[in-house]
Amino acid sequence: MRHLVLAATASILAMTAAQAQVTEEDIANDATITNQIVTNGMGRDLQRYSPLDILNRDTVQHLVPAWAFSLGGEKQRGQETQPLIYDGVMYITGSYSRMYAIDIETGREIWQYDARLPEGILPCCDVINRGAAMWGDLVIFGTLDARLVALDRHTGDTVWNTQIADYRQGYSYTAAPMIVNGLVITGNSGGEFGIVGAVEARDVETGELVWRRPVIEGHMGMLNGEESTMTGELNATWPGDMWQTGGGATWLGGSYDAETDTIIMGTGNPAPWNSWLRNAGEPTEGNAGDNLYAASRLGIDPATGEIRWHFQTTPREGWDFDGVNEVIPFTNAAGEGRLATADRNGFFYVLDRADGSFVDAWPFVQNISWAEGIDDTGRPIYVEDNRPGDPSAAASGDRGESVFAVPSFLGGKNWMPMAYSQNTGLFYVPSNEWGMDIWNEPVTYREGAAYLGSGFTIEPIFEDYIGSLKAIDPDTGEIIWEYRNAAPLWGGVMTTAGGLVFTGTPEGEFIALDDETGEVLWSFQTGSGIVGQPITWEQDGEQYVTVVSGWGGAVPLWGGEVAQRVNYLNQGGTVWTFRLPRELAQLAE
């Protein structure tokens, strides 16, 4: 394990170790404490909203680079991380399961940790990592060989290292962990390999497993070292023994709603993609062919891992419309508690905050072809002719009828996090307008091998743009404004009390938009495509903004015709930090 430490700086930090430790109170109030960011999402509700307004519509024109830090070497590829900030130090995860500690005043490296990854790892969608979690003197992140590592935040030394799952079976881990009441909450990745999705909780001090909740029906949960309860009911919605390799990877992590004390976790595609193997018929009364709890959102008790409620966005899913996208708790204009999620299937859903029940849904991308809409219960109204054909019904038996489906399997929205503004009451959703030719093929499960049973190729549906950042009213589904981009949008979004929306593009532009109109007020060319997640914080009375630039992720790997359209984009790996100088902020007053 390569481990580089700048000895003098690390020694000074170690001497001050007792001065500051991340507490549950710090984590719970992260969304309102302006000089730190210790959670993914800038708060466990994932609103990605900052109350800072030093930087605003008038002053953003004066935002200038403060420092830049290179992730170095040949280990580039996609950089999808969200930085954390605490006690004068920024913590960044990088591709290939690396972590860096950086001095926020100077941009100088304090230490670097590289996981020693084995041969044969099976990451689906690039060698990315989306961030870390903090507790006490620990900074905790996951690795591509499905391990969870806790490091001393002052020195980078390993405190504990535990296995989430067996990478040789197709498991990996790419999400940022979440900490709730001293428990580290994780999911798993590997939905294309016939794994079984699960949510797990570990003691943050030791890494010892406290509870485990598989998300596919028929599997047994675990609590305090003993079997607890079965997930769902065996064979209620799965035929035969297909539940044993049922997919449902929890690969994006989750949110936590403190108001209801509920972990909300999304689940991925059922396995295999070929839905005829899991459900040969048309939709039935009830949920006999739904393949629970794949392509769903789950409300989970953080103390026991028991499922309190579920909402399935795409029953008997057959287009790779994972249900993992983040669920954000918020209070609407009428004062009602709500949950919002923009699904890969192209619909924006609002659920009841108390029990996850369906409230409403609207399309947020154009030309959706697999469903006519969503009925009053929240179930899709399927277009049966747009389900990929059954290979067993084809004359050759080796390929079913191909269909052109919208959105593509990379989704109307994929992993890239949206943001909510407490200023406007709007959600800012990074979306993409594309479709795919998709067909089904025969497939059998083999451990550690891809378990798809489908072929596909992605195509844009408009000539002039693919990416679209949309401001959406969660009370009506109305799209208030739209910012269009030639290449697909694949990075996160942040909003601020200063009336700004920050995001980045694959072309390398880091931009700030007016949250009411969508007008671009500021931009900076970072030199590589942005697929990272921006943050902002206050230091010595000045407001700073950081984003990590580095093109990659699923689009250049899986994007078909779209990937060819953007194959000129350069990889990279740079942490860009900007500041609004105090004197320039005053000039704008």
Looking at 8-22, 199-213, 311-325, 361-375, which range is the least confident one?
8-22
Mean pLDDT (whole number) for 390-405:
88
Mean pLDDT score, 39-56 = 98
Range of the domain at 555: 41-68+383-521+529-589
Decide if 434 contacts 413 (C-beta within 8 A).
no
Per-residue pLDDT, 583: 85
Range name among 66-80, 85-99, 147-161, 226-240 with the lowest pLDDT average:
66-80
Position 588 pLDDT exceeds 80? no
As a whole number, mean pLDDT of residues 106-127 equals: 93
Task: For residue 537, give the CATH number of its domain.
Answer: 2.140.10.10
Q: How many residues does the chain have?
A: 589
Bridge partners (DSSP) of residue 434 are: 460
- Residue 19 and residue 96 in one domain: yes
Same domain, 61 and 116: no
Taking 80 as the threshold, does the pLDDT of residue 395 lie above it?
no
Mean pLDDT of the chain: 94
Residues 565 and 516 in one domain: yes
Report if residue 257 sits inside a domain.
no
Residue 171 and residue 52 share a domain: no
Q: Specify the residue for token string 């790419």.
A: 174
Residue 3: the pLDDT is 46
User: Is residue 320 flagged as an active site residue?
Assistant: yes
CA 380/CA 383 separation, integer angstroms:
9
Given 30, 152, 320, 515, which residue is catalytic? 320
Residues 535 and 466 in one domain: yes
Tell which of 155, 175, 195 closes a domain: 175
Q: Which of the four pLDDT bands, split at 50, 70 and 90, describes residue 280? A: low
Tell me the CATH number at 134: 2.40.10.480
DSSP classification of residue 62: G
- Average pLDDT, stretch 402-419? 97
Residues 129 and 53 in one domain: no
**184 falls within a domain:** no
Overall average pLDDT of the 320-347 stretch: 97
Say if 232 falls within a structural domain.
no
Whether 101 is in a domain gets the answer yes
DSSP 508: S
Model pLDDT for residues 478-491, shown as the tens digit of each residue: 999 999 999 999 99
Which residues fall within 8 angstroms of residue 130, CB to CB, at 6 or more apart? 40, 80, 81, 82, 93, 174, 175, 176, 252, 253, 415, 533
User: Is residue 483 within 8 Å of residue 493, measured between CB atoms?
Assistant: no
- Pair (504, 408) in one structural domain: yes
Has residue 286 been placed in a domain? no
**Same domain? 406 vs 453:** yes
Cβ neighbours for 586, distance < 8 A, ≥ 6 positions apart: none
Q: Which of 15-29, 278-292, 346-360 is predicted least confidently?
A: 278-292
In a domain, 199, yes or no: no
Question: In the chain, how many domains are there?
Answer: 2
Asked if 111 and 60 sit in the same domain, the reply is: no
- Give the model's pLDDT for residue 282: 60
Which of 148, 175, 202 finishes a domain? 175
> pLDDT tens-digit profile of 504-540?
999 999 999 999 999 999 999 999 999 999 999 999 9
Residue 263 lies in a domain: no
Q: What is the pLDDT of residue 74?
A: 65
Domain boundary among 175, 195, 216: 175
Say if residue 25 is in the same domain as residue 45.
no
Q: What is the mean pLDDT of residues 238-260?
A: 96
Check whether 12 has a pLDDT greater than 90. Answer: no
Query: In terms of domains, do 62 and 97 share one?
Result: no
2-30 mean pLDDT: 65
Rounded distance, CA 577 to CA 65, Å? Answer: 6
Whether 491 and 458 map to the same domain: the answer is yes
Of the candidates 215, 439, 401, 237, the one whose C-alpha atom is nearest the C-alpha of residue 318 is: 439
Q: Could you report the per-residue pLDDT of 72-88, keeping only the tens digit for each?
A: 876 778 999 999 999 99
More confident residue, 351 or 395: 351
Position 543 in a domain: yes
